[in-house]
Structure 1
Amino acid sequence: MRNHSGGKNLIYVHMNHTHKYVLSYGIEFPEFMGNIPFKPANLLLLKHKFEDGYFNMHTLLHYASEESIQQLANDDVYRYGDFCWVDFTDEDGLNEMESQSLAELLYLSHMKTPLRPPFYRILGNQYAYLAQEDGFFNKIYYKHWEHFYGMLGGVLSTRIHPKRELSFFGRLRSRSIPPVPLEVLQPYSHFMREGLAFSIEKVAVDRQRAVIPIWVIGDFNDMDEMIEEYEIRSRRAPEGRLVLDRRNSEWQAIIY
């Protein structure tokens, strides 16, 4: 299993707009769950090593309920290797799933690609989450793109750690970093279709601004190759920046 400790220093996203999925590196399951705008009620676990889930007799699969999702998020899902799930609304719908749909989900988790769009009315799912060594290679299908932008904007803001500053009364305080809004990230959607790297290690923060530099590095299925390309490209000037004016808490997209 790879050492992917560098994932905290880099977020890579490659958007496939036609098939509504995103390949990513550097975003882990707990961050996804903590920042996704639409919170799943239950997770049908297709590939996992979670020991505290529930068992569904109709599908012969385990699932995490709303109460146990946080426990799953606290587990080290990276060590699972393959970690795949789809969300679902309630167990009644799960119990009515047809054999064909179940077969499609099993194929999806094995091959990491669907036989048809992986969204099922009977499940009401919004996502299909397919990870190989979670945070190193994630392929996630989104029913609605605004959920992806909301998640990404939240994760980017949580990765910025400004220094504590003296208040008017001489006390140390930390000013929170707001999420990057959808309308600020959307101008980069064309570049996300090419493969975009947000450099966390090169973030600059002072009292007035926070700046995240961005490079277009291309389409990669091999994340080791992606990291090598990022290391080369990041020696040059970035193609864009996300800039936060900390005085008014407003983000701006800058594209060169």
Structure 2
Amino acid sequence: MDNVRIGKFKGFTTFDLKIIGIVLMFIDHIHQMFVPMGAPSWLDWFGRPVATLFFFVSVIGFSHTRSKEKYMLRLYLGMVLMAMGSFFLQKIVGYEEVQLMNNIFRDLLVGTLMMYGIDKLSEGFANKKFGKILFGIVMILFPIISSGILLSLMSNPSTIMAAVWGANFIPALLFAENSVMVLLIPLMYLAKNQRWLQCVLIALVAVLFFFQGSTQWMMIFAVIPIMLFNGEKGRGMKNFFYVFYPLHIWILYLISAYMYTH
């Protein structure tokens, strides 16, 4: 008999986690795009664990990438292109029933900047280099400080448009799709060698959402595939997500616009 393993589950690879996230995300975005046509609200439930899954995958990816700077650059380009693409698509189509606010690249970039800052802070303390310590602190605080600056500018009628446009190019925490929930990324990074602690952090955030009456508490279900993660990369799909994420949102948006107007 061939050395083919049949029915032996060895856990999920990083590739598997991405695929799970993509499938759940797609279902969630069907709900988002087809609400004007009466899409059932329960479709939204499928998307609640997605951000958490991608946050966990970003911690794994950042921990193992060869160039953390290139990793951040890819996310930055993804963030800007997504923002610009969605803006111009909405202007051209003029379909106001659905707003394209999605940009997970911003969330992941904010978290990655903080992880990068944690690394520099750790290196600075280890080598007793004040410059690296200071740089690390700046990187960690940048998404928070930039949020405050942008919000301040938005409160002034004379600077509001500059701030709105600036938000497309600045990775600010409070302008991320998942806002302060993005802080889970640096927290999970600090606990990257303790999977149980990462899951506890996820559970604590889920409990907070539960008591707020938000369906986001369903993010707790991300713990299941995370606990089953086997530490392996699996098949490579380095650039697939960068293309699939904006493309599927824009295509669903166009289909929704066509169906609504015909």
Give the TM-score normalised by structure 1: 0.27
Give the TM-score normalised by structure 2: 0.26
Q: Could you say which structure has the higher helix fraction?
A: 2
Higher relative contact order (CA 8 A, sep 6+): 2
